Structure 1
Amino acid sequence: MTDISRLPGPFEHRWEWQFHAACRTADTGLFFHPPGERGPAHDDRDTAAKTVCAHCPVRAACLQYALEAREPYGVWGGLTVEERRALRSRQQARTTRHRTAA
């Protein structure tokens, strides 16, 4: 049998923020929409999820993770998939402008 006791841990420092997340006690369905959800039900669910995120002590770490991982689903760090996509586009545009100006 292989002895794994000397191997490094699973990079827990990269995930430890999740232990402090406000969403840990919330229903996960609040952050991920069911198939076919549209209109006011979709908007109300997103708003409720963002309310949880607004009071979360690790919101910034959560958003950073979602952006780096290109998380394709759910509300993370207080932003929806569409909002994160728009934020990444703005960040990329700034980076491109900065490179061409230099």
Structure 2
Amino acid sequence: MLHLPQKPLQVAAALSQHNPTREDQAGPWHAEAVCRRDEAGLFFAPSKEPTAARLSREDAAKRVCARCPVMVDCREHALVQPEPYGVWGGLTAAERRVVLARRRRRDAELRAAATTSGRIAAAG
């Protein structure tokens, strides 16, 4: 998701600091983003948006993301930054927090398993 939210300086700074993970002849991944042609308000919440309106808007934004050829690149950008606002790569900010928490938990479990297997091998 490339649109500038109500906090444009934060997103603009994030995009300028980001080294795209996928560049080809057409340029960085966000050059191919479907959302470049859509209204920014679809991807970022106005202040004091009612819940029903937010859910409807987010659903519409996710439908745009679903047809985007760079959705995975966009999602990874939003997770790596991490982007605190808006719909990026088909995920809301809350959904991205869940994904990040799961990744942290998985990484911690893998580190713990590696430590345990190292102790077992040393004792063997």
Q: TM-score, normalised by structure 1?
A: 0.86
Q: 2:26 aligned with 1:26, yes or no?
A: no
Distance 2:35 2:103 in 1: 27
Q: 2:92 aligned with 1:80, yes or no?
A: yes
Give the 4+ runs in structure 1 shifted more than 2 A: 10-13
Cross-structure match for 1:89: 101
Structure 1 residues 91-100 or 15-24, which shifts more? Answer: 15-24
Distance 1:19 1:46 in 2: 22
| Cα distance, 1:39 vs structure 2 | 1.5
Cross-structure match for 1:6: none
| Cα distance, 1:82 vs structure 2 | 0.2
Q: 2:59 aligned with 1:41, yes or no?
A: no
Q: What is the CA deviation profile of residues 14-42 of structure 1, one whole-angstrom value per residue up to 9, with x for unaligned ones? A: 27111100101000000000001122100
Q: TM-score, normalised by structure 2?
A: 0.71
Question: 1:62 is matched by which residue type in structure 2?
Answer: C
Cross-structure match for 1:59: 71
Task: Extract unaligned runs of 5+ from structure 2.
Answer: 1-15, 21-26, 115-124
How many residue pairs align between the two structures?
93
Q: 1:16 to 1:54 in 2, by over 3 A?
A: same
| Cα distance, 1:11 vs structure 2 | 8.5
Distance 2:91 2:68 in 1: 13
Distance 1:63 1:41 in 2: 23
> What is the percent sequence identity of the aligned residues?
45
Cross-structure match for 1:99: 111
Q: What is the CA deviation profile of residues 29-56 of structure 1, one whole-angstrom value per residue up to 9, with x for unaligned ones? A: 0000000112210000000000000000
Aligned alpha-carbon RMSD (Å): 1.8
